[in-house]
Amino acid sequence: MLTVDFRRFRVKPGERVLDMGCGAGRHAFELYRRGARVVAFDLDADELAGVEKMFGAMRLEGEVPEKATAETVRGDALELPFPDGHFDKIVASEVLEHIPDDMRAMRELLRVLKPGGRLAVTVPSWLPERICWALSEDYHTAPGGHVRIYTRAELEAKLKATGFRVDGHHHAHGLHAPYWWIKCAVGVGNDAHPAAKAYHRLLVWDIMKRPPATRLAERVLNPVIGKSVVVYFTKPPSPASPSGPVKETADAV
């Protein structure tokens, strides 16, 4: 289930792309399928082990272009182990809300992205997330859990202050917000509750079948209760370096 819209965030074969805070790897796998040179980065060694296995399975099954590459790197988002301007594009999906010093992480994203490169950031939307926090303390107090609720304006302002330019936004996963409200109401870890099980079956069915009715419903629900907000940014190009005196031409005279 992808949150970033790759029709808006186009990735070309051969581009070097970082999936920062890759988790289980859903965006990293899509980037790999699209022919990118993917780095899946996370602090969780167990998650990265699973991502590495899937990369290998994708290669064996011939699911990726011949020149595409993929690797996993473990590390801290506050000190990315990459040179300045190393990546053409970066995805940071559902990760900044976990990081207490989020602006330091944002500065690292700016540093390792090439001038003119693009960044896609997704975080939980304010309203659905606020309801989850109100329904369940466990939802947001578990170790490694969410430490803040962003408004889109706050997220954009922080990344603009870091040096990025805002390129647009959308919401995603409108059908998923009610599932998390149910989970928070009955107990975040209570997957066996009949209401949680029933709604989970609905979501799995929707993901597998993608029927027109639920696709339409999600498009209607996304702007209102979309579980995630996705914002796209660009690192402005570096100012052109002086190139010596300008030669006069007939037009300039």
Question: For residue 143, what pLDDT is reported?
Answer: 85
Can you read off the two tokens belonging to residue 150? 């962003």
Beta sheet of 16-20, edge-to-edge order = 69-74, 37-42, 16-20, 87-93, 113-124, 228-234, 165-172
Question: For residue 145, what pLDDT is reported?
Answer: 87
Task: Point out which residues pair with 119 in neighbouring strands.
Answer: 90, 233
DSSP state of 88: E
Question: For residue 212, what pLDDT is reported?
Answer: 95
Question: For residue 50, what pLDDT is reported?
Answer: 98
Question: For residue 244, what pLDDT is reported?
Answer: 42
pLDDT digits (tens, 9 = 90+) for 71-97: 999 999 999 999 999 999 999 999 999
Q: Under CATH, which number does the domain 16-126+133-174+226-234 receive?
A: 3.40.50.150
pLDDT digits (tens, 9 = 90+) for 30-63: 999 999 999 999 999 999 999 999 999 999 999 9
> Residue 167 and residue 232: Cα distance in Å, rounded?
5
Question: For residue 242, what pLDDT is reported?
Answer: 42
53-59: Cβ within 8 A, 24+ apart: 54/25, 54/29, 55/25, 55/28, 55/29, 58/29, 58/32, 58/33
Give me the residue spans of the domains in the chain: 16-126+133-174+226-234
Question: For residue 240, what pLDDT is reported?
Answer: 52
> Residue 12 and residue 115: Cα distance in Å, rounded?
17
Q: Which residues of the chain have pLDDT under 70?
A: 239-253
For the entire predicted model, the pTM comes to 0.91
